[in-house]
Structure 1
Amino acid sequence: MSGLKLSPAADAAAGPALLWAACDASLPPAWDEARRLAALDTYAILDTPAERAFDDVVKLVASLCDAPVAVVSLVGGDRQFFKAEVGLGVRGTPVDMSICAHAILQSGLFVVPDTRLDPRFVNNPLVTGEPFLRFYAGAPLETPDGVPLGTLCVLDYQPRPAGLTPAQEFALTVLARQVMTQLELRRALLQREASERRFRQLADAMPQMVWSARPDGFHDYYNARWYAHTGMAPGSTDGEGWDEMFHPEDRAEAWGRWRHSLATGEPYEVEYRLRRADGAYRWTLGRAMPSRDDAGRIERWFGTCTDIEDIKRTEAALRLSEERLRLALSAAEMVGTFVWDVAADRITADAGYARLFSVDPARMAGGVPLGELLPAIHPEDLPAVTAAIAGSVESGGSYEAEYRLTQADGSLRWVVARGRCEHDAEGRPQRFPGVVVDITERKLAEEGQELLARELSHRIKNIFTVVGGMVSLSAMGASGEVRGFAGVLRKRLNALAAAHEYVRPHGPDNRPAEVETTLRGLLAALLAPYGAAEAGRLQLEGDDVPIGVKAATSLALILHELATNAAKYGALSSSEGRVAINGTRTGERFALVWQERGGPGIEGPPERRGFGTILAERGAITQLGGSIHHDWAPEGLTLRLDVPLGRLAH
């Protein structure tokens, strides 16, 4: 091999890959420099301390080859590292001084009989200066896939024209393979320690207790969470020490399951009570799986312990709740639960449901079609019930309906039914669970309460009439001033009566269709006598809100006073005048604005406030918890009433 024209400095810049290109070899290596260096890194061998296994090899090969120098050389990117050496006294040199960098470019044994006669090394500092090396023989250190890492080589201060003897060459080659065997073993150990370290880091990060055991079942590892949970010292539960951590009543079961898994290789799973660091026993789920080699033999067992105390308590509470529900349903004969299989059209239900629909409980438990149950529903209620069912089936929304059921003896019972139709991933109706509750007694009580309320309302209405009549009778023959006062009082009583009529209880048979239980309904009732709405002089705009009994009384006084003053002095006193009433709901408050326009001009606020105005303002503040503000603009009055929404509903 001749023809290399690179200087030592150029050798360093080129590296082994370019050194190959400068040789006269016919074929390039089956690797590149990046791959070679990456392979070398996997052994993590550079700059490691001396090790006896490698030192013994160089001593032996130096003796066998009768050489003063022997080296295990590993060629890096810019230097060569001597893992073991005899006769040099250094741990490495720059790559531009390396004969081994050339040796790894060859296949097989590389021998240089006389470095002074080889143009590749004639100017090498190790040849021209100390230690004046004249002979080199190196066997490559190659990975299993043929990538060279360095050489096992011998060197001499004298040239050897005849090279090595066949026995020496054989010994050098065999010992080079032994060096690679040591490197492979070392790498395997390192990889295992990296793998074990990652496993321990992962296991310690898990929220569970993790353990592992040898194939014979000997526990030799627990993660940090195990020791934190149990309070045991590290190593104290190795072997069979874990047995003492179990509740005495659970040990036999746990041991039996573990022995069965060891004998059969089947996964291990058992529930037991594990002692915590504070001495309390908590329910735990233990699981383990075997790890097998390529031949199917178990190498290790890996297991976990999961605290399931909270799950156990939840299950116990759920069982108790279910038992209570069953007892409650069995005691309450007029409550029933059902499940409708929509696709199969089969309703299965408990005994309470069966009794309400007059069906044999045993047959109901087996399932009946929906159509068989519908005739029990009162004909007047059936359309609404079927529409509610169809709506839930179509949309998957909730279902609720009140209806009457005809009993076997011909009597009627009121029930309320609630449920929801469940759909599959494609939107098809599948399951429709629900409950039916007998509300007959509640309905009867409500009817009694409504009857009483209507009677009380009737009596209150009569009181307004009697008081109004008494006022009229008292004013007869009195002075004009008294008659005027009586007239005002009678009108205010009429306003209160109108408000009461608006909010009083009405039955389904006597509620006027035009009456709405809202602010607009109250306004319509109070302002009807003035005819402003029919004449287009009254506008009701904006938001509407529900009105309660207490709020209606205060509002009636306020609105009556406004309407009366508008008719006497304001917008409604003129044919061109008009009143706009606007309601605005903002969050939890409501603002009512009364605005008059087109009436007589206003010079400013009135010099004195009348009794009605004072009464209205006090009602707004004390009864409604709000505020009232007057704006006496020349073009007309604007009044703003601001109250909490919650007070309006009282």
Structure 2
Amino acid sequence: MQPPKSMQASAPPRELSRLAALLRYEILDTPDETAFDDFTELASYICETPIALISLVDDHRQWFKSRLGLDVSETARELSFCTHTIEGQGIFEVNDARRDQRFRDNPLVTGDPHIRFYAGAPLTTPDGYNLGTLCVIDRQPRQLSKAQRGALMRLSRQIMRLFEERLQAHRYAEQAALQQALLNSAASAMLVTTADGTISGVNPTAERLFGFTEAMLVGQPLTTALFPLDALSRRASILSNELGEPIAPDFAVLTAPLLEGRREMREWRLRHRNGGSVPVLLNVSAIHDERELLRGYIVSAYDLAHQEHLQLRLQQIAAQVPGMLFQFCWRPDGKSSFPYLSEGVEDIYGLSAAEMAPTIAPIYERIHPDDREHVLASIRHAASTLTPWQFEHRIDHPRKGRIWVEARATPMRQPDGSVLWHGLVTDITERKGEQIELDKQQEMNRRLLEALSEAVVACDADCNLTLFNNTARRWHGLDAQQIAPEQWPHAYHLFHADGVTPMTMDEVPLIRALRGERIRNLEMTIVLHGTPRYVLANADPMYASNGQENGAVVVLHDITERKQVEILQRDFVSTVSHELRTPLTSITASLGLICGQVMGEVPEHLQELLDIAHQNSKRLSALIDDLLDIDKLYAGKMRFELQVQPLRPLLEQALRSNQGYAENCGVSIELRDCPAVAINVDPMRLEQVMSNLLSNAAKFSPPGETIELWAERPDTQKVRVKVLDKGPGVAEAFHARIFSKFAQADSSDTRQQGGTGLGLAISKELIEHMGGQIGFDSTPGEGACFWFELPCHPLDEAQQ
């Protein structure tokens, strides 16, 4: 315990030490004790006073351990007479407090208990600290005689001796309790004996281990109660030879080594109450008192039955392990041994445990000659650095022939400087063969990848590039770099299909595939040193066997030559279309005037020929218009004037514009449901798309049928417009190229309907330029439903 902090801050060092000494005796605020009350009664009797006190003074009060003639248990220190006593040496006496200037105004003098006389003898510790006083008090003035003063001092010394004895008794009790707690909680069996070997106490572990209760063992000779006589006799004979003097087969067998200054731990099999035996590891220690006199012995017995059980369990477990479990000890002098080997040694090395135990030489001879030095070097390195050891090497097995093994072990430095290894050796011949075959396959795959004309690039789940074949290195102008994905577009010269707009990281096919997308035939450009290379990208995520995504791969196919041919074709078509448009417009107009008989009546035999020429000229004009639209779309020259407009009026206008054509085909168009949404489109381009879809539906629907037109919202962000016809549907073989240029089904009934084969291709480009997508659903023989989706938002009140 420490003195209060307030006292530490203000008291001088001597006072702090005194308070610490007072706390050390642990007597403050303890209950009354008769031994101390006897001293106060004796002091009162000898000094002939009505009041006697044993007072202890701390930092703020005087507390009475014993009191006679006074009811209170403590008073404030600043009022106490005892404070003056502990500040001096010897007895402090006040004959008449009312006449003493120091005390005449003290409340204890002027009030209860009306002190007039006080005499106090200090209670002084052996190291000179005054803890308090033995004091006597009277309500009348008086003076102690010399004999009374002497008696008061002797009594104070006796009280201090009682304090010391009380403190010592507490210490002994604490030590005894601690020793008993240690004995009771010890994991080993503990037996305490007298000097002659008689059992005087046992702990609970000993009762459980041997089956005897403490009452059965106490008072019995230890060796008679628990030790087999034949074992004692054998050990006595051995000790007699070692020590050169006769040793009796009794308790002397256990104590004789101690007398020679030897402490030994030895395995014994002691008796159990049930008649069986208990394997233990025994240790004997002498007990001496403070004067070094022998008081007895403590015999500790560690239960080896559990260890034997664990060893058996280890052997059973080791028998199930595919391979050899071992402990290997490498000593500083170069010698080695195997403290433990499992039965797997026969399977791995074709050796028995007996052949292996003394040395590593038999194993060394089994190692393939080309691997021996490498194995030893790796063991030496692991031993010097105390790092885990792992090594694959070949073994020449006497029955199996040449096999591959993997050895793993963890080294631990021992107190004697040796290194103890705990390890496992397993046969990996089958795995090694599979690995060699896999290496061959991987090498073949690597050569195939390098020989491909396509560029192949892969990355792992952390965006680290892991594969860059020769074609990829040549096209990008560099190999795989460990750079952040944000830098890929710039470092690898990635652009959109136009060869001008740089890609962002989120647009890179490999990144998109890593996020779970499957990219098919995405056109993009690699622009190296100003020269564009047009490629088609196909990318997919990669998955491990457990289904966890572990990367992505992209394959790039060079379409530069095809793009150049397309550009030449587009330039040719554009040039021809522009050159044909003006004369064809004049021809169409002239034929229109003639057929309309504006120039006069046309002979009947020419009318049919002129009508055919007029219709074909209009079809040719439509073809040229479509060619020019396609050219503008691909060249990026078509202008789009986007406006936010309600959807329904646009559909109604499309219906009106195409109703006449539908009637000519013998069908009708019906506008059904349309949600109240607005879309951001170019109205003229949207009507062009609607005309293509509605005219196609009219051409391929049987006469008398109704074409259905409606819109719906697949989610809150998009609206889908649908056109459903009752025609023959789209052939399965034609699905993949229906939106391609000049695409028409090859059936004769389709060809009879006419058309340029560009309408759906133009519609696809127009819808995608306005931020949407187009598609269809069809089953042959059951009609077709063409649709397109566009972003939308709800109409506000003003638009409605």
TM-score w.r.t. length of structure 2: 0.43
2:148 is aligned to: 168
> Is contact 1:419-1:432 (8 Å) kept?
no
| Distance 1:55-1:579 versus aligned 2 partners, 3 A rule | closer
**Deviation, structure 1 residue 249:** 7.6
| Distance 1:124-1:268 versus aligned 2 partners, 3 A rule | farther
> Is contact 1:139-1:173 (8 Å) kept?
yes
1:159 is aligned to: 141
1:183 is aligned to: 163
SS state at 1:179 partner: helix
1:62 is aligned to: 44
Q: Distance in 1 between matches of 2:196 and 2:90?
A: 47
SS state at 1:150 partner: strand
**Deviation, structure 1 residue 115:** 1.6
1:275-328 deviation digits (Å, cap 9, x = unpaired): 59x998653434343343443224564454433212123456789999x9xxxx
**Deviation, structure 1 residue 143:** 0.9
> Is contact 2:454-2:557 (8 Å) kept?
no
**Residue 172 of structure 1 aligns to which amino acid in structure 2?**
L
Residue 584 (structure 1) aligned with residue 580 (structure 2):
no
Q: Distance in 2 between matches of 1:229 and 1:367?
A: 40
| Distance 1:214-1:68 versus aligned 2 partners, 3 A rule | farther
2:303 is aligned to: 307
Q: Distance in 1 between matches of 2:211 and 2:125?
A: 48
- Structure 2: state its 5+ residue gaps: 1-5, 236-247, 339-344, 350-354, 384-388, 461-465, 467-522, 524-533, 567-729, 737-763, 766-800
SS state at 1:606 partner: helix
**Deviation, structure 1 residue 141:** 0.5
1:228-262 deviation digits (Å, cap 9, x = unpaired): 66777675644439889858689968996755556
> Is contact 1:109-1:138 (8 Å) kept?
yes
**Residue 291 of structure 2 aligns to which amino acid in structure 1?**
A
Residue 98 (structure 1) aligned with residue 80 (structure 2):
yes
**Deviation, structure 1 residue 181:** 0.8
- Structure 1: state its 5+ residue gaps: 1-13, 22-27, 325-334, 357-361, 408-412, 444-449, 451-504, 528-532, 546-570, 610-632, 635-650
> Is contact 1:582-1:594 (8 Å) kept?
no
Q: Distance in 1 between matches of 2:164 and 2:198?
A: 30
> Is contact 1:414-1:438 (8 Å) kept?
no
**Deviation, structure 1 residue 142:** 0.8
SS state at 2:441 partner: coil
Q: Distance in 1 between matches of 2:443 and 2:731?
A: 30
> Is contact 2:535-2:556 (8 Å) kept?
no
> Is contact 1:288-1:301 (8 Å) kept?
yes
Residue 271 (structure 1) aligned with residue 229 (structure 2):
no
2:70 is aligned to: 88
> Is contact 2:336-2:360 (8 Å) kept?
yes
1:404-440 deviation digits (Å, cap 9, x = unpaired): 89x9xxxxx75768768998969x998999999999x
1:85-137 deviation digits (Å, cap 9, x = unpaired): 33335544333442112111111121222222211221233333444332222
1:142 is aligned to: 124
**Deviation, structure 1 residue 179:** 0.9
| Distance 1:158-1:225 versus aligned 2 partners, 3 A rule | same
- Of 281, 289, 311, which residue of structure 2 is paired with 1:285? 281
| Distance 1:249-1:586 versus aligned 2 partners, 3 A rule | farther
**Deviation, structure 1 residue 209:** 4.4
**Residue 733 of structure 2 aligns to which amino acid in structure 1?**
P
**Residue 123 of structure 2 aligns to which amino acid in structure 1?**
L
| Distance 1:217-1:69 versus aligned 2 partners, 3 A rule | farther
**Residue 286 of structure 2 aligns to which amino acid in structure 1?**
P
> Is contact 1:127-1:133 (8 Å) kept?
yes
Q: Distance in 1 between matches of 2:114 and 2:334?
A: 102
> Is contact 2:456-2:554 (8 Å) kept?
no
Structure 1 stretch displaced more, 339-348 or 192-201: 339-348
**Residue 584 of structure 1 aligns to which amino acid in structure 2?**
M
Q: Distance in 1 between matches of 2:422 and 2:18?
A: 70
- Of 102, 120, 131, which residue of structure 1 is paired with 2:102? 120
| Distance 1:59-1:385 versus aligned 2 partners, 3 A rule | closer
Residue 295 (structure 1) aligned with residue 422 (structure 2):
no
**Deviation, structure 1 residue 193:** 2.0
| Distance 1:385-1:583 versus aligned 2 partners, 3 A rule | farther
Q: Distance in 2 between matches of 1:36 and 1:313?
A: 60
Q: Distance in 1 between matches of 2:382 and 2:99?
A: 97
SS state at 1:144 partner: coil
- Structure possessing the higher relative contact order (Cα contacts under 8 Å, 6 or more residues apart): 1
Q: Distance in 2 between matches of 1:105 and 1:300?
A: 49
Matches within 5 A, 1:380-529: 386=373, 390=377, 393-394=380-381, 397-402=389-394, 516-518=440-442, 521=445, 524=448
2:733 is aligned to: 606
Residue 41 (structure 1) aligned with residue 23 (structure 2):
yes
> Is contact 2:456-2:556 (8 Å) kept?
no
Name the larger-Rg structure: 2
SS state at 2:37 partner: helix
2:611 is aligned to: none
Q: Distance in 1 between matches of 2:537 and 2:129?
A: 101
Residue 538 (structure 1) aligned with residue 454 (structure 2):
yes
| Distance 1:246-1:597 versus aligned 2 partners, 3 A rule | farther
Q: Distance in 2 between matches of 1:520 and 1:581?
A: 22
**Residue 48 of structure 1 aligns to which amino acid in structure 2?**
T
> Is contact 1:418-1:434 (8 Å) kept?
no
1:370-412 deviation digits (Å, cap 9, x = unpaired): 9xx99x99xxx8656655655555567445444889x9xxxxx
1:441-491 deviation digits (Å, cap 9, x = unpaired): x99xxxxxx9xxxxxxxxxxxxxxxxxxxxxxxxxxxxxxxxxxxxxxxxx
SS state at 1:312 partner: helix
**Residue 307 of structure 2 aligns to which amino acid in structure 1?**
I
SS state at 1:296 partner: coil
TM-score w.r.t. length of structure 1: 0.51
- Let me know the Cα RMSD of the aligned residues: 6.5
| Distance 1:85-1:216 versus aligned 2 partners, 3 A rule | farther
Structure 1 stretch displaced more, 114-123 or 56-65: 56-65
> Is contact 1:73-1:150 (8 Å) kept?
yes
| Distance 1:386-1:105 versus aligned 2 partners, 3 A rule | closer
SS state at 2:42 partner: helix
**Deviation, structure 1 residue 517:** 2.7
| Distance 1:368-1:70 versus aligned 2 partners, 3 A rule | closer
2:174 is aligned to: 194
> Is contact 2:62-2:76 (8 Å) kept?
yes
SS state at 1:138 partner: strand
**Residue 43 of structure 2 aligns to which amino acid in structure 1?**
V
SS state at 1:517 partner: helix
SS state at 2:14 partner: coil
> Is contact 2:198-2:221 (8 Å) kept?
no
SS state at 1:31 partner: helix
Percent of aligned pairs with the same amino acid: 26
| Distance 1:134-1:431 versus aligned 2 partners, 3 A rule | closer
| Distance 1:61-1:368 versus aligned 2 partners, 3 A rule | closer
